[in-house]
Amino acid sequence: MRYITLVLFGVFTLSLAAGLASAQEAKIIVDGSTTVGPITKAFAQYFMSKEPNVNVSVSESGSGYGAKSLINGTCDVASMSRFMKDKEFEAAVAKGVMPVAHTVAIDGVAVVVHPSNRVDALTLEQLQAIYEGKIKNWSEVGGANVPIVQIGREITSGTFEVFNELVMNERRIAGNTETVGSNGAMRSRVQSTPAALGYVGLGFIDRTVKTVKINGVTPNRQTVATGKYPIARPLYLFTNGYPKLGTPLHAFVTLYLTEKGQEIVEDKKFVPVTNY
């Protein structure tokens, strides 16, 4: 009888230890958009301060790569600054993955120039023409007589996808357009190049660049929230199915619905989904 008791106690101890190890090893892997990055990194920092047994890692490989990571099962959350494409959904379903979107914030794609540039407003048509290569000099839109250095994002970027849809209407972008790999790189290039023109998410606007009005509307949280600013988009976290209630993953991807989550979104200069 004593032997059976010891065996049962041993089994219980091993089970408890395994459970504790599982709790200690719990992790959430996030990959995707550089635009959503400031939100997911801040969410991760706050979440881990409240849940020390959960490790949240955040990578910023771009929206397209975030979708691929979710499809391939190498991340738990794909952060994306655009909605998943039909072909991405098809690839996911073929692998038994069912993407579910969680809209965490609303963002505007701000058009930016060097602070010394006297141009402070463009129309959507002018912006399109610049990136098509039809308008080549700042003097054609009220600026100095210098060639425009237009800068874009790589094709795997969700920000590129939104710009391509809302500004370019899928028109071909001029071959001399420079390409950078992130919002931070875009800001750095514009702030160091007096003739540059680029675009970044609201969270990347600071004093080192100047925003340009589009169709007479300044990009900010209020104009984005009210729908007045014409280059705006939702930001997403995608998961494989809806996370099980009560799990760390569920708590993490629904953080945006809490008061603290909304505070973080606002602090990062984006628009909370509760602030339409």
Contact call for residues 43 and 79 (beta carbons, < 8 A): no
DSSP three-state, residue 236: strand
Contact call for residues 201 and 183 (beta carbons, < 8 A): yes
36 DSSP assignment: T
> How far from the centroid of its chain's Cα atoms is residue 270's Cα?
11
pLDDT score at 170: 83
Q: What's the Cα-to-Cα distance from 124 to each of 112, 152, 164, 225, 237, rounded to whole Å?
A: 14, 16, 12, 19, 29
Length, in residues, of the chain: 276
Cβ within 8 Å of residue 25, ≥6 positions away: none
Provide the β-strand partners of residue 243: none
pLDDT score at 88: 97
Low-confidence ranges of the chain (pLDDT < 50): 1-24, 276
pLDDT score at 14: 38
Per-residue pLDDT tens digits for 44-64: 999 999 999 999 999 999 999
Domains along the sequence of the chain with CATH: 25-106+233-272 (3.40.190.10), 108-232 (3.40.190.10)
Provide the β-strand partners of residue 106: 234, 271
Per-residue pLDDT tens digits for 240-255: 999 999 999 999 999 9
pLDDT score at 275: 58
Q: Where are the alpha helices (DSSP H) in the chain?
A: 2-25, 37-50, 63-72, 86-94, 124-132, 158-166, 183-191, 221-225, 248-253, 259-267
pLDDT score at 265: 95
